[in-house]
Amino acid sequence: MREIKFRFWDKSIGKFVNHPLIMYNGNLLHQDDMGQLTQDLDKIFVTQQYTGIKDRNGKEIYEGDIVKCEPAWFYQFEHSGEIYFSEERSGFFYKNDEKNINWNINNTFECEVIGNIHEKGVS
């Protein structure tokens, strides 16, 4: 069974944060520093879910991560791309538009997290 967890990019300060979140009547609420509750998480945070997979160095892979993949038996070149969730295909995928690659993240075992879409190139 996959571990369910999230990370949050705070749009106002430009970094990942751990803010208290509260589940109430099936809704996820955010509690700010003043104790106020809000449901408008999308206005405050970019929420990214853990894929349940770690890269070759043991680092957790989340939506929005940029991974660098080395050649393996199913592709012959090194490249990098972004991890995303596809609702249509019900899973996490890797995409590299430049090389027209789009496959299930379970095939990223030869990959390494090198950054994320918010902090491009920062590991």
**pTM (predicted TM-score):** 0.75
How far does Cα 8 stand from its chain's mean position?
10
pLDDT (0 to 100) of residue 123:
44
User: For residue 34, how many C-alpha atoms fall within 13 Å in the half-sphere facing its CB?
Assistant: 3
Check if the beta carbon of residue 94 is closer than 8 Å to that of residue 107.
yes
Average pLDDT, the chain: 77
Check if the beta carbon of residue 112 is closer than 8 Å to that of residue 55.
yes
Highest mean pLDDT out of 36-45, 53-62, 81-90: 53-62
pLDDT tens-digit readout, 12-37: 888 888 766 666 666 666 666 666 66
Q: What is the DSSP letter of 103?
A: E
Residue 121 lies in a domain: no
Residue 37 lies in a domain: yes
Residue 84 lies in a domain: yes
State which residues form the domain around 79.
6-116
Residue 34 lies in a domain: yes
Residue 74 lies in a domain: yes
pLDDT tens-digit readout, 53-81: 888 899 999 999 998 887 665 566 677 88
How far does Cα 18 stand from its chain's mean position?
15
Residue 93 lies in a domain: yes
76/52: higher pLDDT? 52
Residue 122 lies in a domain: no
Count of structural domains, the chain: 1
Residue 98 lies in a domain: yes
pLDDT (0 to 100) of residue 122:
46
pLDDT (0 to 100) of residue 10:
85
The Cα 23–Cα 116 span in angstroms is: 27
